[in-house]
Amino acid sequence: MNTSERASAPVLVYGATGHTGRFVVDELLRRGVTPVLAGRDAERLAAVAPDHGLEVREVGLDDRDRLRRAASDVGAVVNCAGPFLDTAVPLARAAVGAGAHYLDLTAEQSVVRELYRRLDAPARHAGVAVVPAMAFYGGLADLLVTSVLDGDTRADAVDVAIGLDHWWPTAGTRVTGHRNTATRQVIRAGRLAPLADPAPTRTWSFREPLGDHAVVELPFSEVLTIHRHLRVGELRSHLNAAPLQELRDPTTPAPSPTDGSGRSAQRFTVEVVVRRGAERRRVSAEGRDIYAVSAPIVVEGAVRLLDGRGAGAGALAPGQAFDADDVLRALEREAPDFRVCR
């Protein structure tokens, strides 16, 4: 499929019936892109499809030929089905084999590592892009760091701080948390290194209204994506402690909708501080609902790949695949309540 054919091709959404998958389907429709609903549960897919009159493709992950056929006439595959430890490599392999781009929402470092290792050469050969972590966790920080560097690729140190006023986890988040037991990595002296145990803590002064919070060093997939295309001496990623306690509490409820789009009331801030020599730059992104905002992020990536605005083929980081400044400006237009503060 060439670029002109991809521009009008549908997008396969795997995990379309899940919490975030539904946001992605709605965002594609809002952007005028036809989604194809895919997943492992035929009954759940059939229950969602009549809402929009969309095509449904029921397919499991253990049938490579069927997966590849499911992706054979689409321009891109967006994987919303966690744990991505199970779904990412089979779906990315199927997409690349069918000549389609692949994007996902993973926060899991080991998933990003495996996609970069296994799919880079096949994707380059097929002329398509594999872009994991094009979402709130991973992609947003990567785009912010890339934007702050303003065309440079080097930094002495980068700090990423994520502040949430609450974390109401989905069932998928809880399952992933139990499964994601790999040692988390950071960047030290320009190389990937294991996170210290116990993880370091400190106080972070977020922009108001969040203000000062105790944070713990908790790296997500942004470490792997940033290391993929930028030369950073030290990278530390932090999350404020209060929502982490909510995540670990089995009685914390799932997110509940507070508007017609299904978004929860949760507010977030992602702050990035980049140091080069004596120069220090800071930028932040603010918005509402970490699950809902992942939809415009990944759909913006998919649309750009479909119309040929991606940076090339291979397994790529978000800030490597796309013009970071332009994507952030687009998100301010397309994502409700989202803004970048410099």
Q: Which pLDDT band holds residue 49 (cuts at 50, 70, 90)?
A: confident
Q: Which pLDDT band holds residue 188 (cuts at 50, 70, 90)?
A: very high
The 8-class DSSP code of residue 201 comes to: E
Q: What percent of the chain has pLDDT over 70?
A: 99
Contact 153, 230 (CB under 8 A): yes
The average confidence (pLDDT) of the chain is 95
Q: Which pLDDT band holds residue 11 (cuts at 50, 70, 90)?
A: very high
Under 8 Å CB-to-CB from 238, ≥6 apart: which residues?
159, 160, 161, 162, 202, 204, 215, 216, 217, 218
State pLDDT tens for residues 309-335: 998 999 999 999 999 999 999 999 999
Residues of the chain with CATH 3.40.50.720: 3-135+293-341
What pLDDT sits at residue 8?
85
State pLDDT tens for residues 122-135: 999 999 999 999 99
What pLDDT sits at residue 234?
98
Q: State mean pLDDT over 190-200.
A: 97
271: which 2 tokens?
């702050």
Distance between CA atoms of residues 308 and 325, nearest Å: 17
Q: Is the confidence at residue 194, as pLDDT, over 90?
A: yes
Q: State mean pLDDT over 170-190.
A: 93
> What is the CATH T-level fold of the domain 137-290, as seen in this structure?
Dihydrodipicolinate Reductase; domain 2 (3.30.360)
Q: State mean pLDDT over 89-110.
A: 98
Instruction: For 203-240, give one letter per residue: b (16+ CB within 10 A) or e.
Output: ebebeeebeebebebbbbbbbbbbbbbbebbbbbbbbb
Q: State mean pLDDT over 258-277.
A: 97
Tokens 């992104």 found at? 285
More confident residue, 152 or 51: 152
Q: According to CATH, what is the number of the domain 3-135+293-341?
A: 3.40.50.720
Tokens 């203000």 found at? 211
Q: What percent of the chain has pLDDT over 90?
A: 92
What pLDDT sits at residue 48?
80
Q: Is the pTM of this model over 0.75?
A: yes
Residues of the chain with CATH 3.30.360.10: 137-290
> Which sign, positive or negative, has the C-alpha torsion 174, 179, 181, 186?
negative
Distance between CA atoms of residues 217 and 233, nearest Å: 17
Distance between CA atoms of residues 128 and 108, nearest Å: 22
